[in-house]
Amino acid sequence: MPDTEPLFLDDRRTFTAEEIVFYADSGTRSLEDALATADLLISCPHSGAAIPGELRPFLVPEFTRRLQFDYTDCSTAPIVRRWAELDPSVIYVENPHPRLVRDPNRARPDDLAANLAEALKRVRDAGAFQRVDLTGVDAIRPVTFSFFPMLVVPDDDDGVEELVAAFVEAGSRGVDVYQATREDLLEQMLSRALSGEGPGRLTTLSFHDTMNRTTTRDGAVDVERDPKDRLPAVVSLSNRGDANGGPRTDDPIVTMDPARLRMLAEAHRTGFEVSSADDVLMNQPYLGSQEIISAGARFREVATEAQAAGVSLDAVQAEFLRELLLGAANAAHISAPGQDWPEPDPEHVDLIARRCAASWAAYREQMP
């Protein structure tokens, strides 16, 4: 029988940096060895699926594994782990917690309790299963992107404070470890690049996936998104610029050099052997979020030093079509009503990982 119950971690499970960092030949090479050759730091902020066990009391009883996994980018984890095994130019850090605990690709609010209280209020005001705008208050979401309830809505402020305290404490054991590890790796790789000890470039890649369909109450992921919200057939690469990678007039800051983003897009068209150039787009439908915003800001702080050293620094978000990452059989499985989630297909995982590695190899070949 398929597993339909939510998947939980052991209560108070604490992760270490060593458990969530992956690189080639880790059995024979140290992290220091990997840092000496890597020019690409990949992070998957939404890769985790298993929920900290101590958060069980806060979940609605109707929450299924299908709804749980659909609210993650769990298909990214096996692919990027495999890519990291294959490619010594890559270091990968994986968030072991689901975004339900706290979304690290959103700016952490100064007052998490007030932020969540406002989100809960908006959900209550909209009504059960109704579309609600959680812009600015979605560090912890009470509902999925299909507006299915995930969290039991507390009756009063004390209940909200209890919920937030539990989520903050749980997050300290996983998502906080992920963010601290990512920041530490970024600083180490940046220091090496600027000092001439590492490759003459550093790119941070925030790796995601999204389906072009959303979930119904019976678990079928089969409701097409509006055309403006749909991803291309392979990936959208984002630097917070326009559709050509250049600065937008309303916000001219980009996190990756426009010409290099266009080169990267073309490299993905090569690596994934696309049938149409539109299978790989830039900044459509997403501009990129907190991870590339924060990395881009850090790179701007050292821009003068990097220019003097001849080092290129870029931050890019890749939003892959989830149907592509899942493979046709698994995508078809979740399009039907149900409560389970299919296991990754190892052959398909290997294929996509190799195409990712080939895309970045093609990109490096274009670099001066």
Pairing of strands 213-215, 201-210: unpaired
Structure tokens at 58: 């806060």
Q: Of 139, 87, 132, 91, which Cα lies nearest the Cα of 111?
A: 139
**Host H or E run for residue 162:** helix 157-171
Q: How far is CA 208 from the centre of its chain?
A: 4
Q: Work out the end-to-end distance of the chain between its first and last CA atoms, rounded to an integer number of angstroms.
A: 54
| d(C-alpha 100, C-alpha 145), whole Å | 11
Instruction: Provide the 10 A C-beta neighbour count for residue 172.
Output: 12
- pLDDT means per 10 residues in the chain (368 residues)? 88 98 97 96 97 96 94 97 98 97 92 85 83 88 86 84 91 97 98 91 98 92 94 98 97 97 98 98 97 98 96 98 98 97 97 98 91
CATH 3.40.630.40 fits 17-105+169-366, yes or no: yes
Q: What is the dihedral of CA 175, 48, 356, 329, to 10 degrees?
A: -170
